[in-house]
């Protein structure tokens, strides 16, 4: 394995990262995120369905969707029963968010105080992607 050297200092600053999920129906996925998790549609291509790309935002958090007809995300939880996440979303006031979702069938793990001091809960979207919402209460 080769070791990279640290990059030289520049004026460029990384601002964020956006997970990108492959899905077979972008419009239905956007509708689910809007209705259940409070995301807003930020952009699509093309402008009307069927979309090949969409971006959704909730505050500064962004999730991108790419179309792949017939795609089904493999279910791997049997290989790693805990900590199998597709996105970790840091939240101030995670308890308040959890209270709006408590009891919903897509909540995979209830609000839990972790040994590393974060409070977290997991949501599984209709495509099988697992989002962890974590942070301070």
**73-137 falls under which CATH superfamily?**
2,3-Dihydroxybiphenyl 1,2-Dioxygenase, domain 1 (3.10.180.10)
Domain ranges of the chain: 17-72, 73-137
CA angle (63, 89, 26) in 5-degree steps: 20
Rounded to the nearest integer, the mean pLDDT of the chain is 93
CATH 1.20.140.10 fits 17-72, yes or no: no
pLDDT in tens, 83-133: 789 999 999 999 999 999 999 999 999 999 999 999 999 999 999 999 999
The answer on pLDDT for 21 being more than 90 is yes
Comparing C-alpha atoms, which of 111, 126, 136, 118 is closest to residue 37? Answer: 126
Q: Region 60-77: what's the mean pLDDT?
A: 94
Q: Does pTM surpass 0.85?
A: yes
Residue-level pLDDT at 130: 96
CB 55 within 8 A of CB 43: yes
- pLDDT single digits (tens) 125-134: 999 999 999 9
């Amino acid at each position: 394995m080769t070791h990279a050297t640290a990059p030289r200092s520049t004026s460029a600053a990384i601002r964020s990262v956006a997970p990108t999920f492959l899905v077979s129906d972008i419009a239905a996925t956007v509708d689910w995120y809007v209705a259940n998790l409070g995301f807003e549609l930020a952009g699509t291509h093309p402008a009307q369905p069927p979309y090949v790309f969409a971006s959704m935002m909730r505050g500064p958090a962004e999730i991108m969707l790419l179309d792949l007809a017939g795609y089904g995300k493999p279910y791997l939880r049997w290989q790693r029963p805990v900590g199998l996440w597709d996105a970790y979303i840091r939240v101030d006031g995670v308890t308040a968010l959890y209270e709006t979702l408590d009891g919903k069938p897509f909540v995979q793990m209830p609000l839990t105080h972790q040994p590393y001091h974060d409070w977290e809960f997991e949501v599984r979207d209709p495509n099988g992607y697992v989002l962890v919402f974590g942070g301070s209460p």
